[in-house]
Amino acid sequence: VKLLMTVHHKNLVSFVGFCDEGTNMIVLYEYMHNGSLRDILSGINLDKFHFYSVMNLAALYSINHKNNMAI
C-alpha cells in the first residue's frame, strides 16, 4: 500500500485508498470514465479493424504481461 501511494504516472490510474476489515479487503483506484483497456478491446469488431493495428495491440498486451515489473 505504501508503494502504491508513491507511484504517479500519466498512464496509470491513481491509488486512492485501502480498506482492511477482517476478511474484506478493498484497494480503491481513481474512476476510469472511459473504461479499461480490456473494455475497449472487447468491443472491437476485428473484421473492420486493420490487421496491423490488431497485431500492434496484441504485441503491447504481450509486452505488458511479460514485463510486468515492479515500479
> Which amino acid, residue 47?
D
* Mean pLDDT score across all residues of the chain: 76
Helix or strand holding residue 41 (H, E): helix 37-42
Return the domain boundaries, the chain: 1-31, 34-71
Of residues 20, 15, 12, the one with CA closest to residue 2:
15
Q: Alpha-carbon distance 68 to 19, whole Å?
A: 25
Task: Locate 5 and state its grid cell.
Answer: 501511494
State the 10-residue block means of pLDDT for the chain, 71 residues long: 79 85 87 74 68 76 66 49
| Model-wide pTM > 0.85 | no
